[in-house]
Structure 1
Amino acid sequence: MTDDFDEPLPGTRRVLAHRLAVTQARGRAPSVVAALVRDGRTVWSAARGELPDGADPAGVQYRIGSITKTLTAVAVLRLRDEGLLDLGDPLRAHLATPHGGDATIAQLLSHSSGLAAEARGPWWERTPGDLRPELTDIFGPGPLKHPPGRRHHYSNPGYALLGALVEKLRGAPWYEAVREDVLTPLGMTRTTPLPCEPHAAGWAVHPYADARQPEPAVDTGRMAPAGQLWSTARDLGTFAAFLAGGTEDGVLSTATLAEMRRPAVAPEAAAWDASYGLGVQLLRHDERLLVGHTGSMPGFLAAVLTSPGERLGAVVLANATAGPAVTSLARDLIALTAEHEPVLPEPWRPMPAADADPALIALTGTWFWGPTPHVLRLTAGRRVHLGPADGAGRGSEFRPEDDGTWTGLDGYWAGETLRAVHGEDGLVSHLDLGSFVFTRKPYDPASPVPGGSDAGGWR
């Protein structure tokens, strides 16, 4: 189901346009383009500042910097879904590299490989890639800064290695593989390694004068998988819809998208509102979890953020090296839309008749772990949820398995097995969950409660 509106309401559009205008003016950006995504498609876009004459703002290319990493990550995860690699594989199992080979592919995706943050000098974002033509040329002295897997340490060269991995397993240059596996299926036809007209020029704005100078836009070569691409608000709106899980495109499964969005590393001690998944940044603001990525290259700033639970996403592109707060703008576009036009809950509907198995319905209701009441509920797909009756404590959803058991999907019991244990009379005597016994009565003496029940009973 989708809500009964497409474009934002007029009052909402005015608020969004005002927020965009403030960002462009206060940030002193030559131009800013923004788009809002809802229910899987772009429903609003606007621009402020200089744009190519006659161009549709949503179709103007800007450099997107590290949003490129998320596209590279999707290409890697597609390789995993096809069985060509495992995220636990060390990189050296697939790619001959002088540095980073001991890090797993998951660690490279989540920036926990321990590798250096930047390529060997000079500054790779402003110098041509032919200065670093091979993998052996990417890292300078001391490429490993931390033991793999110990902490989050953002690594641009780490994504150069992932790009080389894609090339090796696909047998094609990195961009060609990303175009074939990700861009073309999603319909992102204006996302390219080099700019195509119409496109914005990149500028550095003087910090203390209303003056500017152009920034270089080089081909970064081996470092391209970390930040080379150019794209448009329209293409990135499509990508935002994909990240939020609102499209049927066949690029990645829903389960893999959810895997991308889970925190893969602990945040820094002073930054518990920010973490990193598999190729995506995770930001928490005002109790809202945002998933996406920001990007910067000389002359450009970009952000793609989504709120999957609200079916919302935002894209912001600017052509200034510094100044406009694009991440804050993307975040606020989502928040303002949610405030003015809150998402409607899905209507309740009964589960399919085939799932309403009388034997499963008989399992529902109250079960006790010791003296603590829990409630088992049955939902569509023969899934069950078991959790404390008061809603506080360990509760999880479980999916059914072919052998009649269930496997935990979230929370404390994720991956654990729930089974209904039958007595000699063929009736269910208790539930077993990771050695925890749940009975129909508190400490039921007729059930195999670990340690037994006191012979004197309740008194």
Structure 2
Amino acid sequence: MTDQYDELLPTTRRALLHRIAVAQAEGRTPSLVAAVVRDGRLVWSGARSMIDGHAPTVDVQYRIGSLTKTFVAVLVLRLRDEGLLDLADPLERHLPGTPADGATVAQLLAHSAGLASETPAPWWERTDGTLRPELADLLEGDNPRKHPAGRLHHYSNPGYALLGALVERLRGEPWHEVLHREVLAPLGMDRTTLLPEHPHAGGFAVHPWADVMLPEPLTETGLMAPAGQLWSTVADLARWAAFLTAGDPKVLTAESLAEMRVPAVGPGGENWSGGYGLGLQLLRHQDRVLYGHTGSMPGFTAGLWISEADGLAAIAVANATSGGDTPRVAAELISLTAQHEPRLPEPWRPLSSLDEDLLALTGPWYWGAAGHTLRLKADRVLELAPLTGGTRSSRFRAEPDGSWTGLDHYYAGETLRVVRAADGSVSHLDVGSFVFTRRPYGPAEAVPGGVDPAGWQAF
């Protein structure tokens, strides 16, 4: 198998195939399968294998490791959206008696609870889950925290095992059965399972100094399964990428998914290269901000990344414990596709209807002496932006009570109100208590603290 689908240009397809061929050869992986999703549709897939004339299809299962965490996070957000928990709830409110009492649900989702990265020995990924039969076995009872809660990102596999147990407690059934019924079945992902189903790849270790291989054990990890147990296919992961991009009302809204990709703990410095939201990793790669997740288990590596700005996602899976840097391959497939076929902007179109009162609000406004513009967009969205650029540009969504709610950037979640004078005319805009007037510090304007009676002067 070389590559499939003809919705990308031949030069693009050749570049993508070349990238995965190099990854399979130089990374010495028995097989590697990859795909590109554009605007929610699978538009290219390719595979390379150590067996001449044969390569796995997009329907062959691979173990996806920590990509499992994205599925668990969606289950938890569903519980939140149903009102069964709050992300600020301490875990013990719903799942008492674990070594992580006091950690909040949000901190567990974001790996900021300060919990240990791994279970006590033996290494959980290569040993049977029956060795850890109770939740108390997942963390050291006297030292479960390695850092103060909420201060920094410290990746914790046991933390996601606890989230899986939380789902089980609130749903009253195993987390993977909840996942199948509430998420996988509605999205048509019938090849994503807890245990492997034929056809599936075998996992291997490749010797670091010789071209020989060793089969890896296919362990059942028990309570640790929510941290990395799932098996899936490239075709199913393409559906998952489409869902993580746009949402699906049957599973989770786009608004809740947008929450998941907001950094939960501040990245280190302005030149950050990676971060974590609520179950989604964030990556800055070649001037693009991507979100998704990486995964590895003995014998397998995986990566799924999404570029919202480009309308692209890419997946790569391989069946070797190390080598090939599969997650980086997925990120580079996005860059290659965007380079060869940059996204076309949507055509400009005029509004289909006009509200004269809203039109009258557009134009220049001033916060003190700082000039801003207010523009009217489709669906009654207002966009407030500084004339000189900067970080306080925001869009606002119309609300039924006549106010607007900030959608992004500095004013995200803040309220914009149109304040009227006694005669009904517009006096000013109030944006989270900031007053915007039609003139910069005009003497008749509603400026907090008043304006010097002498007005603007030359000195």
TM-score, normalised to structure 2's length?
Answer: 0.95
SS of residue paired to 1:376: strand
Structure 1 residue aligned with 2:126: 126
**Cα separation, 1, equivalents of 2:51 and 2:290:** 29
Alignment match of 2:358 (pick from 353, 357, 360): 360
**Cα separation, 1, equivalents of 2:413 and 2:282:** 23
SS of residue paired to 2:304: strand
Structure 1 residue aligned with 2:182: 181
8 A contact 2:206–2:212 mirrored in 1: yes
Structure 1 residue aligned with 2:448: 450
Deviates more, 1:435-444 or 1:50-59: 50-59
Structure 1 residue aligned with 2:427: 429
Any gaps of 5 or more consecutive residues in structure 2?
none
Q: CA deviation at 1:437?
A: 1.8
Question: Aligned letter for 1:151?
Answer: L
Question: Aligned letter for 1:203?
Answer: F
Deviates more, 1:432-441 or 1:76-85: 432-441
The 5 Å alignment of 1:257-406 reads 257-268=257-268, 272-353=272-353, 356-406=354-404
**Cα separation, 1, equivalents of 2:314 and 2:387:** 38
8 A contact 2:92–2:98 mirrored in 1: no
- Residues 374-407 of structure 1 show CA distances to partners (whole Å, capped at 9, x for unaligned) of 1111112222111212223422111222222222
**Cα separation, 2, equivalents of 1:270 and 1:18:** 34
Question: Aligned letter for 2:206?
Answer: V
8 A contact 1:191–1:232 mirrored in 2: yes
**Cα separation, 2, equivalents of 1:36 and 1:402:** 40
Structure 2 residue aligned with 1:58: 58
SS of residue paired to 1:361: helix
Question: Aligned letter for 2:329?
Answer: L
SS of residue paired to 1:11: helix
The 1:53–1:180 alpha-carbon spacing in structure 2 relative to 1, beyond 3 Å, is farther
Structure 2 residue aligned with 1:254: 254
Structure 2 residue aligned with 1:86: 86
Question: Aligned letter for 2:203?
Answer: G
Deviates more, 1:423-432 or 1:218-227: 423-432
State the percentage of identical aligned residues. 61
The 1:374–1:330 alpha-carbon spacing in structure 2 relative to 1, beyond 3 Å, is same
Question: Aligned letter for 1:48?
Answer: R
Structure 2 residue aligned with 1:75: 75
Q: CA deviation at 1:435?
A: 2.7
Structure 1 residue aligned with 2:412: 414
- Residues 352-371 of structure 1 show CA distances to partners (whole Å, capped at 9, x for unaligned) of 41xx2111111111111222
**Cα separation, 2, equivalents of 1:139 and 1:94:** 18
The 1:52–1:154 alpha-carbon spacing in structure 2 relative to 1, beyond 3 Å, is farther
Question: Aligned letter for 2:186?
Answer: P
The 5 Å alignment of 1:20-31 reads 20-31=20-31
**Cα separation, 2, equivalents of 1:24 and 1:55:** 12
Question: Aligned letter for 2:359?
Answer: I
Question: Aligned letter for 1:440?
Answer: R
**Cα separation, 1, equivalents of 2:269 and 2:422:** 54
8 A contact 1:52–1:199 mirrored in 2: no
The 1:200–1:52 alpha-carbon spacing in structure 2 relative to 1, beyond 3 Å, is farther
The 1:342–1:113 alpha-carbon spacing in structure 2 relative to 1, beyond 3 Å, is same
8 A contact 2:391–2:409 mirrored in 1: no
Q: CA deviation at 1:232?
A: 0.7
8 A contact 1:52–1:198 mirrored in 2: no
- Residues 222-246 of structure 1 show CA distances to partners (whole Å, capped at 9, x for unaligned) of 000000011111111111111122x
**Cα separation, 1, equivalents of 2:52 and 2:220:** 23
**Cα separation, 2, equivalents of 1:421 and 1:268:** 40
**Cα separation, 2, equivalents of 1:313 and 1:415:** 28
8 A contact 1:51–1:200 mirrored in 2: no
8 A contact 1:288–1:307 mirrored in 2: yes
Structure 2 residue aligned with 1:168: 169
The 1:36–1:99 alpha-carbon spacing in structure 2 relative to 1, beyond 3 Å, is same
8 A contact 1:64–1:317 mirrored in 2: yes
- Residues 46-70 of structure 1 show CA distances to partners (whole Å, capped at 9, x for unaligned) of 1111479978510111111000111
SS of residue paired to 2:58: helix
SS of residue paired to 1:190: coil
- RMSD between superposed Cα atoms in Å: 1.8
**Cα separation, 1, equivalents of 2:351 and 2:27:** 51
Any gaps of 5 or more consecutive residues in structure 1?
none
The 1:124–1:317 alpha-carbon spacing in structure 2 relative to 1, beyond 3 Å, is same
**Cα separation, 2, equivalents of 1:398 and 1:117:** 40
8 A contact 2:6–2:44 mirrored in 1: no
**Cα separation, 2, equivalents of 1:19 and 1:37:** 16
The 1:190–1:213 alpha-carbon spacing in structure 2 relative to 1, beyond 3 Å, is same
Q: CA deviation at 1:323?
A: 0.8
- Residues 144-201 of structure 1 show CA distances to partners (whole Å, capped at 9, x for unaligned) of 1112111111000000000001111111111101111111111111111111111111
Structure 2 residue aligned with 1:41: 41
Equivalenced residue count is: 452
The 1:124–1:53 alpha-carbon spacing in structure 2 relative to 1, beyond 3 Å, is farther
